[in-house]
Structure formats: structure tokens, C-alpha cells
Structure 1
Amino acid sequence: MLKIGLTGPYSPNMKAAFYDALPDGFDVVEIPTVEDYGALEDVDFVVLRTLKFDNATINRCKQLKMIQKYAVGYETIDIGAAAARNIPVVNCTGVNTVSVAEMAVLQMLAVLRNLLPLNRRLCAHQWAKDEFVQCSYTLKGKTVGIIGLGSIGRHVAQLLRAFGATVLYYDMFRQSEQTEQELGVTFFPFEELLPRVDLLTLHAPSTPETINLIDREALSKMKRGAILINTARGNLVNEEALIEALQSGQLGGAGLDVFSSEPPAADSPLLHLENVVATPHVGGSTAGNDSNMMRQCAGNIVKFCERKPILKRNIVNLSMLSDPLPIEYQ
């Protein structure tokens, strides 16, 4: 019987969805913390959510055939160490596209319209009807820059166009002219994009090339008063530089669903600045989405065992695997 390490933590609903999606023939061992990693030594598959999976951990799993990542981000996994043993690392790209894209737009609107300070005033019995009029704006007519035009970035672009915004983008891999026309987006190199936008929203993965992508230099090139939105990964932004830009007025505001350390320290200015909307990494957390993610995790494992193809976009270390590949893809 094949053994799966359900490496957590996971909610009861998430676990129920995973078990329901698995056919007979699998034994599941639940591993909620790194202290329980000793139980991984004889697993054939790992489903990983938030815990780290480094080189040493991968090598202690002698029978490991595939690592299935819950959600999209895989920065906690040593994908090179996995590839050295010809172990594919598979994620769930696409499942949380709509949820995260809508969260990004929600953050934009909340910052532009000063939603949180208005709410705080009202809850303190202050009728601040006119206090923020001169610094409240619509998305219509704004120029928004998207960093990373994957599935989430594309959906954000579609939503923004519906609001009447002009959408620019930067991605390491430029889209085809046809795709750009269909989405209504215009490509600019990173350095040229920054000074053109009123809002900048991040939808890139965490890689050596993108860590601290938004640093002091990048922030200094943006329009004074521009807004930064990050629903991707906290380490894309240098938080010290971000705080300085927010406090100085170089940035007019920020919407943050992710942080370099999660949860952030209680005394972080990012939790107390009035021009910041902060949420606890819940962009993909909508009713039913967690269960859908778990069903895809189970489904990919079953596909691997049945030699049925897995979507190419979901195999994050595909180019690093040996020939012949241990996995079918399409």
C-alpha cells in the first residue's frame, strides 16, 4: 500500500476533502509539525502546506516519489534537492486564481477610498464625511502596473479593465501580442514600468531573482503617492524600505496580505500605519477553495500513480528532472 505524508497543519474540512478524494490503496499518516518528521522516512508521497522541506528532509524520505504542494508558493521546498533525486514538485496553480485576484482588487479599493480609517472614525463616533475627500480616488482612470502575468496576474488585469483602469505589466517572459491584446495590457521593462503607474500590484513567485525586488531603489522610482499591493509573497518587498516610503509619503499607501515574517511582529509599523490595509495571508482563503485545493492534491497523486498526465504548469521543477521523467505531463 502506498503511503502519503499529510504534512500540515490542515483544518478538519481540508483533511476531510483530501480523504474523500483518495481511492482505496493509500495509507495516510498525518504529520502536523516538523517534530513529527520522523514519520516521513517511508512515505511515497508528501502533501506539504506551510512547513519547510529542505535538502536533509528530502533525503531522509528514502521512498519519496513526488512532493505535492498545497496552493502555489513553493519557496519552502528545496526543489533542486528534489530534482537531484528525480522527484517532481507539483503545486496547485490556478485553484486560487479568482480568490487572490479579487483580494488584490479589494486591497486597491480599500486603500484608494481610505476604507479602514473611515471605519475607525465611525466606530469612534466621528462622522468623518469630509476628512478624506481630497485623498480618496477611484480605480477608473488610474494606471496600474502588474508584476507577474501568470494566472492570477491575468485575472487581475481583466478585473482592472472592467473598472476602467489602464493596465501595464512586467514579466520575465513577455506574453504574445495576441494575449496582450486580449487582456488589454501593455508590456514595459521593470525599470520603465515603475514611474508610470499609480498602483503597483505584485503577482510574481518567490525566486532568487524576485526576492527584495521592491527595494529602496525601486520605491524611489515610483510616483510620489503611488500605492503598492502585495498578495503574492512577503519577501518580494524590502519591508524596511517599504515602511520608510510609507512614512515619508513616497508611497501613498499599501495593501498587504503577505509579510516577510508571518505573522509580523506586533509592533511592526505595517500593522499600525493608517495608510496600510493589512490582512493575514488570506487571499486564497474563500469558502470551498481550501477543499478544492485538497482535492487537486489528491488528484495529482492519483494521476502520478496511474501514469496520467499532470498539467505542465503545475510541475515547478520540470526542467530540472532527469530523462526519462518520472511523471507524465501535458
Structure 2
Amino acid sequence: MPETIVLLDMTSPERADRLRALLPPGFVLTHGTARGDEHMKQIIAEADYAISGQVGVSADVLQAAKKLKLLHKWGVGYDNIDVAAAKELGITVARTTGSNAVPVAEFALGLTLSALRFIAYGHAELKQGHWATGKLPGDTFMLSGKTVGIVGFGAIGQSLAKLLKGFGCTILYSKRQPLDAAMEAALGAWHAPLPEILAQADVVSLHCPLTPETTNLIDAAALRAMKKTAVLVNVARGGVVNEADLVAGLKAKEIAGAAMDVFSVEPLPADSELLTLDNLVVTPHLAAMAADNFAPTVKRMFDNMARVSRGEPVPERDLVV
């Protein structure tokens, strides 16, 4: 009998076919067709393996799984998975550590340039027939030669530092355990406490996990500590930024602008005040999506499932619990 993998997220038939083309022998794939826990409980019930892309997986959903061996995060951050419940139920949780580092770093760079130069605003205005060069929401700034603060300096933050080298940026980073001097020199990045980064950086780019320590890390006080000409970029998790404080700060021009690919509630509600601001770039959690990174990441997930099927452990680098 084939073993069943369920993608808990909704997906298109075309994307599902791309996934099926990469399946190892002996596996079949199903996927979500509606949103919400009740639907996920139905489709996970008889699955041997499950994949979570952007959907959260609660204890209630996990308890509905009758024979689940492995829950695999498609990506890195697993803050929206009830890991404690999975452990209690004997369900292994894994992720694809580092797999999306370059795509997310490139996207962060793109958001940075868009926020500094009002690229998204100009695009939206021109699509409406408005030639807006004389009516931008604020001053535009180059990235070259600026100071960039990277908050969270794992694989993604370090990939961004490498990209920024070509812009001649001064790079400050915040990390619980600083890198050694040789690695800092190789990356051209220097450790600094968060208050120093907020005070000095022209761009503050967030790449930290969402934890109790980082929840609302960027709040009203943090925004006031930044330069008025600075921009904030968030490709980490929505909860790292207090969104109400960000709306107020952008309206008051406490910082020049911001760009966000992640939000506290996803999908972002259509009536969100974040959608009303001209000095904010918003994208719908796209940073990790890159067609040329699809197959390597999916094959790695499927390989981990095949390992479990053979009675082998998940590689240490991908194991969560």
C-alpha cells in the first residue's frame, strides 16, 4: 500500500502535479482544498506524512491524525506549529533548514530598494494613470554606502550580508551568539546590540525567529529610536513587529518607510490599516517562493519522509523534535 503525504495548505492542481512529479516511489500526495482547522483535521486523519507551508498546525489538528509519522515544515520557521503537542503525540517535526536563505535574502534586498525608492508606489500610481514623480510620499534614498542593520543573523541574514557587499554598505548584525572575528571579516559584518543598530542603521532588516523574546521587538519605542530617514524591512514573522505601532509611526513619519512580507494575521485582512499607507510596501508572504528553488526543497522534504519510511532518522540539521 502506498503511503500518503498531505499538503495542508491549499494549492493549485498545477502545483500539486509539480509536487507529484517529484514523489519517491511508494508515496501518493493529497492537498488542502479549503482553509481552516476543520478541513485540516479531515485531510490529516489518514495521512502518514504532512507538509505545512504557511498554515498553522494546532494541537487540535494534530490530535486528529491517526497515523502521522512526520510533520514537515516547508521552510524554516515553525512558530505556527504546536511542537509540544507533536512531541507528546510522538509525531516527528522537521524543517528544511537553510533551504530558502538565498531566495528570502534576495527578496529582502528587493523590498529594501522598493522602500527606499518608492518603486511600489510609483508602479501602483502609474497603473492608475498617474505620473507621480512630483508627488512622492517622501524623499528617496540610495542603498549604496548606507548602514544596514540585520536583526537575526542565521543563514538568511548572512546571505543578505553577502548581497549587500556589492553596495558598499556598513553591515551591523544582532545575534545571540556573535560570530568569530574571521567569519565577521569574511562577511564584512560587525556585531552590535539592538539599540546601536536602531540608532545607526539606515535600513533595519528583520530575520529573527518569532519567540517570546522577539514578539513585538519593534514597537513604538524602537521606531522612535530609529533615524527618521530609515526604513524597516520585515521578512521574518509578522509578530516581531507591533503592527499598530508601525501604522502610527509611519503616519507620523517617525521613520521614512517600511516593507513587509509577513503579518500577524495571514492572509492579511482586506480592511487592514496597513493597506492604506503610501510609505509601506506590502507583499503576500512571497519571499521564499522561487521556481528554481522549488525542486531542491521539495526533494529534500520527500527524502526526509522516505528516510522515516525506511526506519531511518531525520538528519540532525532538519530535525525539530
Question: TM-score, normalised to structure 1's length?
Answer: 0.86
Distance 1:111 1:220, change over 3 A: same
SS of 1:254's equivalent? strand
Provide, for residues 181-200 of structure 1, a one-character-per-residue CA deviation record: whole Å limited to 9, x for no partner.
Answer: 11111111223321121110
- How big is the shift at 1:29? 4.2
Provide, for residues 270-293 of structure 1, a one-character-per-residue CA deviation record: whole Å limited to 9, x for no partner.
Answer: 222221111111112222434443
- How big is the shift at 1:217? 1.9
The 5-angstrom pairing of residues 172-183 of structure 1 reads: 172-183=176-187
Match for 1:78: what amino acid?
Answer: D
Distance 1:120 1:44, change over 3 A: closer
Q: Check conservation: 2:138, 2:256, Cα contact below 8 A.
A: no
Counterpart of 1:286 (choices 283, 290, 294) is 290
SS of 1:246's equivalent? helix
Higher relative contact order (CA 8 A, sep 6+): 1
Q: Check conservation: 1:47, 1:68, Cα contact below 8 A.
A: yes
Question: Paired residue for 2:17?
Answer: 16
Q: Check conservation: 2:8, 2:43, Cα contact below 8 A.
A: no
Question: Paired residue for 1:206?
Answer: 210
Residue correspondences, number: 317
For structure 2, which runs of at least 5 residues remain unmatched after alignment? none
Give me the whole-angstrom Cα distance separating, in 2, the residues matched to 1:109 and 1:70. 27
Match for 1:71: what amino acid?
Answer: G
Q: Check conservation: 2:5, 2:48, Cα contact below 8 A.
A: yes
For structure 1, which runs of at least 5 residues remain unmatched after alignment? 318-330
- How big is the shift at 1:165? 0.8
Give me the whole-angstrom Cα distance separating, in 2, the residues matched to 1:146 and 1:50. 24
Provide, for residues 117-164 of structure 1, a one-character-per-residue CA deviation record: whole Å limited to 9, x for no partner.
Answer: 334555566555566698221111110100111111111111111111
Question: Paired residue for 1:188?
Answer: 192
The 5-angstrom pairing of residues 34-73 of structure 1 reads: 34-36=37-39, 37-73=41-77
Distance 1:220 1:29, change over 3 A: same
Counterpart of 1:171 (choices 159, 172, 175) is 175
SS of 2:110's equivalent? helix
Q: Check conservation: 2:20, 2:28, Cα contact below 8 A.
A: no
Q: Check conservation: 2:304, 2:315, Cα contact below 8 A.
A: no
Question: Paired residue for 2:142?
Answer: 138
Distance 1:310 1:183, change over 3 A: farther
Give me the whole-angstrom Cα distance separating, in 2, the residues matched to 1:160 and 1:8. 33
Distance 1:20 1:204, change over 3 A: same
> Share of identical aligned residues, percent?
36
The answer to whether residue 83 in structure 2 is matched with residue 83 in structure 1 is no
Give me the whole-angstrom Cα distance separating, in 2, the residues matched to 1:126 and 1:20. 45
Question: Paired residue for 1:153?
Answer: 157
Provide, for residues 11-30 of structure 1, a one-character-per-residue CA deviation record: whole Å limited to 9, x for no partner.
Answer: 33432233222233234444
Distance 1:266 1:17, change over 3 A: closer
Give me the whole-angstrom Cα distance separating, in 2, the residues matched to 1:105 and 1:153. 11
SS of 2:257's equivalent? strand
RMSD over aligned Cα atoms: 2.4
Question: TM-score, normalised to structure 2's length?
Answer: 0.89
